[in-house]
């Protein structure tokens, strides 16, 4: 195997591992095949008493019953997810449904992002669009009234902003280029990701770190930082759509099957269904294989006039033809996604030094890029409110 193919294999493995980690540290460990040793006995012999004949018989009966129930559960889950897979396969084809009903993207948000990408942008053009988005207006007012920014802008006085129009003027266009895509993506996040309790937070953190990494790398490579930050934020919109879609469809299909089992008096099936939960393996595979394509379709249908994102997304999904090269923004986004995933894997000690070296080498990170990223703040936006 050539070095390039070996690196490509490692890149694919780490990309999948990053998706596994979204659904839980334990699940990611299981997928790697880690052996948990906490329950081992440090090599000391375990004392076992001899079981009575009646106990042996009871144990075998329980084991047989448990195995039978597990088989029924597995079969039930497989049938359930066959239906779910069929439903989900059709939904992304109706991209308007995904944008409006699954994610909840409003046209005004797309218009605001587009205006912010132009030289003719002004607060006056943004104001009527923001006024029609109550949630965005509230977020902007809350932001400028935070103690840190309130102190910045008021020179120690206690002036309070109470309207979106005034908040827009305090923030200014440079800050809005960071704030609006951030608040928009947060607004689109699923309200709940149970039973994957940390999934929503990890989606937020990964999206933020990807956008900030993209902005940082863009500044080093002569690429428009606002374009890079915005695409870094929008890159995971496919993940948001698929998580929302899977959890909603699972609940709908599950409820129908539970009701049918109850009506038909199938107690064993009913019990097996009640014990079923959304499957992390199904979801991580779905995210790894489909999320980037869904992101590309969503971004294309957001119909930006001034944000040059469509051609970049097509390259990320389809690659480049022989003899062509990646667009500069596409190179930045690939590196930003890699680095944001690395941060998460590193935090959970799920990446080895040799894997990391191959990963960074594959994406051709320069020493200057890595040194700059190492000092970046990936949790807070660098806002300056006068």
- pLDDT tens column, 71-112: 888 888 999 999 999 999 888 888 998 999 999 999 999 999
Task: Spell out the domain ranges in the chain.
Answer: 83-374
> CA angle, corner 378, sides to 136 and 200, nearest 5?
60
d(C-alpha 250, C-alpha 83), whole Å: 9
d(C-alpha 261, C-alpha 226), whole Å: 53
> What DSSP string describes 311-326?
HHHHHHHH---TT---
* C-alpha distance from residue 320 to each of 311, 314, 317, 327, 330 (Å): 11, 9, 9, 9, 11
Q: Which tens digit of pLDDT belongs to each residue from 177-205?
A: 999 999 999 999 999 999 999 999 999 99
pLDDT for the residue numbered 7: 84
For the cut 50, the answer to whether the pLDDT of residue 289 exceeds it is yes
pLDDT for the residue numbered 326: 95
Q: Mean of the per-residue pLDDT values for the chain?
A: 88
Assigned fold of 83-374: Hypothetical protein af1432 (1.10.3210)
Considering the entire predicted model, what is its pTM?
Answer: 0.88
Long-range contacts: 350-356, Cβ < 8 Å, 24+? 350/17, 350/21, 350/25, 350/28, 350/29, 350/32, 351/14, 351/17, 355/10, 355/13, 355/14
Mean pLDDT along residues 67-74: 79
Mean pLDDT along residues 124-139: 96
The answer to whether 176 touches 339, Cβ cutoff 8 Å, is: no
For the cut 70, the answer to whether the pLDDT of residue 377 exceeds it is yes
Closest CA to 250 of 84, 64, 121, 105: 84
Mean pLDDT along residues 329-344: 97
d(C-alpha 209, C-alpha 232), whole Å: 9
Place of tokens 């120690």: 156
pLDDT for the residue numbered 32: 85
Rg from Cα positions in the chain: 25
The answer to whether 225 touches 212, Cβ cutoff 8 Å, is: no
* C-alpha distance from residue 303 to each of 132, 165, 215, 233, 329 (Å): 19, 26, 22, 17, 18
Place of tokens 């595979």: 285
């Amino acid at each position: 195997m050539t070095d390039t193919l070996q690196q490509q294999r490692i890149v694919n493995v780490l990309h999948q591992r990053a998706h596994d980690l979204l659904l839980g540290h334990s699940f990611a460990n299981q997928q790697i095949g880690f052996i948990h040793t906490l329950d081992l006995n440090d090599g000391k012999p375990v004392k076992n008493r001899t079981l009575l004949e009646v106990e042996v018989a009871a144990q075998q009966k329980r084991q047989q019953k448990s195995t039978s129930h597990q088989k029924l559960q597995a079969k039930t889950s497989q049938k359930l997810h066959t239906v779910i897979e069929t439903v989900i396969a059709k939904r992304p084809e109706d991209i308007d449904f995904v944008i409006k009903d699954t994610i909840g993207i409003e046209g005004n948000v797309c218009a605001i992002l587009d205006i912010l990408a132009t030289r003719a942008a002004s607060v006056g053009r943004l104001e009527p669009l923001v006024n029609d988005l109550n949630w965005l207006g509230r977020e902007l007012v809350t932001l400028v009234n935070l103690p840190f920014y309130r102190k910045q802008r008021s020179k120690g006085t206690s002036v309070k902003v109470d309207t979106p129009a005034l908040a827009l003027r305090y923030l200014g266009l440079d800050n809005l280029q960071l704030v609006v895509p951030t608040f928009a993506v947060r607004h689109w996040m699923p309200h709940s990701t149970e039973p994957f309790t940390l999934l929503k937070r990890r989606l937020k953190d990964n999206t933020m770190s990807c956008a900030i990494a993209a902005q940082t790398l863009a500044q080093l490579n002569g690429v428009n930082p606002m374009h890079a930050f915005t695409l870094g934020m929008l890159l995971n919109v496919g993940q948001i759509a698929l998580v929302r879609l899977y959890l909603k469809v699972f609940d709908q299909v599950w409820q129908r099957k539970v009701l049918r089992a109850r009506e038909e008096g199938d107690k064993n099936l009913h019990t097996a269904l009640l014990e079923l939960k959304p499957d992390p393996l199904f979801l991580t595979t779905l995210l790894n294989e489909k999320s980037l394509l869904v992101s590309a379709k969503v971004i294309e249908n957001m119909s930006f006039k001034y944000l040059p994102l469509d051609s970049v997304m097509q390259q990320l999904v389809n690659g480049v033809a022989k003899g062509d090269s990646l667009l500069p923004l596409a190179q930045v986004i690939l590196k930003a996604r890699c680095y944001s995933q690395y941060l998460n894997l590193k935090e959970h000690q799920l990446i080895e030094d040799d894997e990391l070296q191959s990963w960074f080498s594959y994406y051709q990170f320069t020493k200057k890029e890595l040194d700059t990223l190492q000092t970046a703040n990936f949790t807070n936006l660098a806002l300056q409110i006068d």
